[in-house]
Structure 1
């Protein structure tokens, strides 16, 4: 029997970016190409969805109660109560075949978001950006095929990031006040049986939990990069874990799966949960007030 249960049979093409909104006791996640953010009340089971004009690559919570959201080539701020949508940034200088992908709010109160190449095979033409509440965008890194796996240690002093195509997880020392980075290192290089690193989360013990969709597993790495656990997922294609109190929620991928795989796993693209294996690190808030 799997450790995981299906909690929302959403059948998203690419379900991603689960975020724990603790004050409202709800789990939010993106349907990237469905141009939607879904919200699940974990106590009542009530469901809400908001549609957007473009793909939703990722998003984060704001201090104001709004959401900071990555569209295809720019960032918006969205109010879930009034449904007001406000453009925050100009378009990033990206090739037309790129789009913004994985993003999270860091301990510095900025929204960090990377881009990915949608060509096949993917080229290293993506980048990683830091976005501040006044709409300034700074390019922090480039030469990335699929920017993914953003997460920070519980003390805010280590930043993690992966390039899915290159199958590497990297880390930096991080200044939680300025957002400055130093001492870059490769934390882990994943073998085929580990899966290519996708979305990730960290726990209070300092461990980094990374989905390996191509292998159908969630990998747990120590702060030094040692593989501590390889946790089988009930369907192929887990995309990102999210700690939410005493539960771990995980989104999944449906897009690109064969008819045979979909017949065997009809709930692909859904939201799953299990008992949390650890206590999650704090969720960052965009410093818009």
Structure 2
């Protein structure tokens, strides 16, 4: 029997495309982005305040680094950003400066490598985007080619598995993951997504190895057993476009959920007044601690 819970609004941010939440354990903040709004956000759950940093192009993903700054996947490539001096440096543009794609989602693996993938602006079956890995020595590696919409990632470190979503394929795939080298092999289907669930978007994993998947056009986050495909829990969100989720808080027992308001009609927004907001729920399980980007590895 599937357990159902409701998420509560914690920040009425009305983001156009809220995405990429990640708990920064050092700063005790939730890091998240508004891709279309070109913003990196830091949400303080104690004060309820959100600090937004604006850039000159879409921010597909952002992760803290181990030197007090951030590693970014902006529209066209990997960048490092030092907030104190507002210094931004282009690390690499792996698809070139004139790519028709943009970076969409990313996070660090357990060894501090930054994985981020691209998506085609006019997406469809013929789109050719990619999944990349940025190592601590700032070398870039293409990990998966001919992706359509690169999205959620999660690692089960105990079993050496990486899970990955290419949204329009309607499935979650699993790879054997070598923690030392960062290599992935033996791709296979882990979870098939039914048509009536919505589009599988961002994803995280809990301490029991279960996947938490946000469903765009699906009004919810689902906890799914990747071994059986069984839905164990559904977190209902009062917004149609649910984009991603991550565990945070001092005990990593709070699930934060991002949403979007992009392309909603005035009628839709009247029915979903908190579209683009940040939500939270305590589901009764704990997540895994996020690793920052680690230089030099």
Alignment match of 1:285 (pick from 269, 276, 292): 292
RMSD: 1.9
Deviations 1:9-37 (A, max 9, x none): 11111000011012211111101011111
Question: Residue 255 of structure 2: which of 248, 260, 266 is its match?
Answer: 248
Aligned to 1:233: 237
Distance 1:53 1:130, change over 3 A: same
2:175 aligned to which of 153, 172, 175: 172
| Contact kept in structure 1, 2:77 and 2:94, CA below 8 Å | yes
Residue from 130, 143, 146 that aligns with 1:143: 146
Corresponding residue for 2:38?
A: 35
Which residue matches 2:273?
Answer: 266
Q: Give the one of 50, 58, 62 matched to 2:61.
A: 58
Q: CA deviation at 1:89?
A: 1.6
Q: How far apart in 2 are the matches of 1:131 and 1:137?
A: 5
Aligned to 1:109: 112
SS at match of 1:193: helix
**Contact 1:253/1:268 (<8 A) preserved:** yes
- 1:90 to partner: Cα distance: 3.5
CA contact (8 A) 2:143 2:184 kept: no
> How far did residue 205 of structure 1 move?
0.2
Q: Which moved more, 1:189-198 or 1:82-91?
A: 82-91
* Equivalent position to 1:100, from 100, 103, 117: 103
Bigger mean CA deviation after superposition, 22-31 or 121-130: 121-130
Partner of 1:187: 190
For the structure 1 residues 120 and 130, does the alpha-carbon distance in structure 2 shift closer, same or farther, using more than 3 Å as the test? closer
Instruction: Find the partner of 2:81 among 78, 82, 88.
Output: 78
CA–CA distance in 2 between the matches of 1:214 and 1:173?
30
Shift of 1:255: 0.5
Q: Is the CA contact 2:35–2:59 (under 8 Å) kept in the aligned structure 1?
A: yes
The 1-side partners of 2:19 and 2:140 are apart by 23
Q: What are the ranges of 5 or more consecutive residues in structure 2 without an aligned counterpart?
A: none
Query: C-alpha distance in 1, partners of 2:245/2:269?
Result: 22
Q: After TM superposition, give the deviation of residue 154 of structure 1 in Å.
A: 4.6
Of stretches 132-141 and 191-200 in structure 1, the one that deviates more from structure 2 is 132-141
Q: Report if aligned partners of 1:117, 1:123 keep a CA contact under 8 Å in 2.
A: no
SS of the residue 1:140 aligns to: strand
